[in-house]
Amino acid sequence: MTEKAKKPEDEIGTGETTEVENVIANSLGTVVHVFLSILAILLVVASAVAAYDTVMRDFPTLWHGQTDEYVALQRIVENILLIAIAAEFALLLLFHRMSAAVEVVIFVIARKTVSPQIAAVDLLVCAAAISGLIVLKHYYLPGKPD
């Protein structure tokens, strides 16, 4: 009893794709790319507005002395890190680079460490995580190091 040899085309999910499948895949890919590009543009515009707002509203509070300078500086750093997160996320949406994903996570962890309510153990864990992500980005991700 010999079994008939199966061809790769007989298995599910292998073989040539039809013209209709190619058109649908290309059209869907284009729609998704345009959608992600629009989202990235919106994020960059929102980041620019937030950066302008931070410079015009928050920076003068450092010089006027009406509030505690430490609180004003903390707010500025938090806003700058949030703007950086949005900008890096826009890059991630556009280019799908692993290094952009790592940078987003680094900025998110860095923003967490700015909080005055953070415990010492949390700060240590955040510092170790940032160090590990920097090592990962530098040694294990493809491309030239920044």
Does 3 have pLDDT greater than 70?
Answer: no
* Residue 108 belongs to some domain of the structure: yes
pLDDT of 7 reads 59
* Residue 6 belongs to some domain of the structure: no
Instruction: Let me know: does 59 contact 76? Beta carbons within 8 Å.
Output: yes
| pLDDT tens-digit readout, 83-141 | 999 999 999 999 888 888 898 999 999 999 988 888 999 999 999 999 999 999 888 88
- State the Cα–Cα distance between residues 84 and 78, nearest whole angstrom: 10
This prediction has a pTM of 0.74
Instruction: Let me know: does 90 contact 43? Beta carbons within 8 Å.
Output: yes
Is the torsion defined by CA of 92, 96, 101, 103 positive or negative?
A: negative
- State the Cα–Cα distance between residues 9 and 16, nearest whole angstrom: 8
- State the Cα–Cα distance between residues 47 and 85, nearest whole angstrom: 9
* Residue 13 belongs to some domain of the structure: no
Burial of 113 (0-12, 13-18, 19+ CB in 10 A): middle
| pLDDT tens-digit readout, 37-72 | 999 999 999 999 999 999 999 888 888 777 788 888
* Residue 11 belongs to some domain of the structure: no
Residue range(s) defining the domain that contains residue 120: 21-140
Question: 137 vs 12, which has greater pLDDT?
Answer: 137
Short-list 110, 85, 111, CA closest to 100: 85
What confidence category does residue 23 fall into, taking pLDDT thresholds of 50, 70 and 90?
A: confident
* Residue 93 belongs to some domain of the structure: yes
* Residue 2 belongs to some domain of the structure: no
Residue 122 gets the label, from left (phi > 0), alpha (psi -120 to 50) or beta, of alpha
* Residue 69 belongs to some domain of the structure: yes
**Domain count across the chain:** 1
